[in-house]
Amino acid sequence: MGHAEGVSAGFQMDQRKGVIALLLSTTGMGLAGCLTRAATRTDFFGTEYVAGESIGAFMTLGRMVCGLLTFVVLIFACRRERLFRATRVTPSIILGGLCIGVALSLYMVAALLTTLADAVFLIYTGPLFCTLLARVFRHERIDVAQWICLLFVFAGMLFTAGIVSVSERGVAFGFDLASSEPGYPKKGLGDLLGLLSGVFYGLSLFFNGYRKDCDSVVRGVWNFGAASVGALCVAVAMTFFWPLGTVDMTAANWGFAGALWLVCGPFALGLLLVAGRNLPAVEYSTIAYWECVVSLLVGALVYQEPLSASTCIGGAFIVAGGILPALRSLLPAKGTRT
């Protein structure tokens, strides 16, 4: 993957477009954990599933395939068949899709085993990893304000994931992967899968930062195709630990599954490609944390997952760290006329 692949001659990023796309995308993605639970539980608020926990990975497979089919239709609807054939497919395009398929499959299973807050904040170690990779390999500049934003969202992740906690006895540090909570007997395993999903998510964001010249619709076909392969690999591997057995999904389960595949598939992930094409890694990394806030609110309002002092502090840090780059991109630059 040469340097030329990371530089797109003649392409100008539209940061306003990137910010709007990313906010819409992360709002849809923030609903993924709730929709997956609704699609896989025998009762909406219960703890019994229609099959083994590996069904979360199969839900992600459906999400990726739905996205693939949507973008194939768009290729023909937008009359971009010739552009699709002429586009040079490079490793970054395939690896970006493959990694997002693996990341979201692990995340969906994590969302079944641990709290929505833990699952989403652990996958969001990824943008920080992506930013550091972009700084090292693409030499993307990070100014003082952006460093401050990154520190804010990183601190927020530490608090909401429980790595740093606040109680009456003061501030404590630690992360217990073997822990369990009422309603989440496999919480430690879920947290571990969430952390692994963050690693692959960061790799996906990094790879998607290349080939910005590639048309979003064309790239969507290749990304979703590779993501489907990645999700299938995770789903098949997980059946060795949690055999599916008989899958007994009701009409309501299928309805929520359809909503998951559409809202969190072609809508959210399609806009994610637009955002990745139009935003530098550091701004992408901070604004993307809005998904964490959405998932946090869903967990609290729908599932009554408790909001601890640490979680509230972390959410405040994340909002503070994400709002500055969003405002800087949306507001006109100083000295420009509108």
Q: Do residues 312 and 5 make contact, with C-beta atoms less than 8 angstroms apart? A: no
Amino acid at site 134: A
Q: Look at residue 137 and tell me whether its pLDDT is greater than 90.
A: no
Closest CA to 106 of 47, 162, 36, 42: 36
DSSP summary character for residue 211: -
Q: CA 10, CA 127: separation in Å to the nearest integer?
A: 26
Which segment of 10-19, 130-139, 173-182, 309-318 scores lowest on mean pLDDT? Answer: 173-182
Residue with tokens 């990394």: 285
Q: What is the pLDDT of residue 313?
A: 84
Q: What is the pLDDT of residue 2?
A: 41
Residue that wins the pLDDT comparison between 307 and 214:
214
SS3 content of the chain, % helix, strand, coil (to 5): 70, 5, 30
DSSP summary character for residue 265: I
DSSP characters over 89-122: P-HHHHHHHHHHHHHHHHHHHHHHHS-HHHHHHH
Mean pLDDT for 200-229 is 87
Q: What is the pLDDT of residue 319?
A: 74
Q: What is the pLDDT of residue 8?
A: 46
pLDDT tens by residue, 20-37: 888 898 898 889 888 988
pLDDT tens by residue, 276-296: 778 876 677 677 778 878 888
DSSP summary character for residue 336: -
Q: What is the pLDDT of residue 230?
A: 95
To 10 degrees, the CA torsion angle through 160, 161, 162, 167?
10
DSSP summary character for residue 158: H
Mean pLDDT for 169-192 is 70
Q: What is the pLDDT of residue 327?
A: 67
Max Cα-Cα span within the chain? 65
Amino acid at site 56: G
Mean pLDDT for 295-319 is 80
Residue that wins the pLDDT comparison between 11 and 210:
210
* Cα distance from N-terminal residue to C-terminal residue, the chain: 40
pTM of the model: 0.79
Mean pLDDT for 158-169 is 73
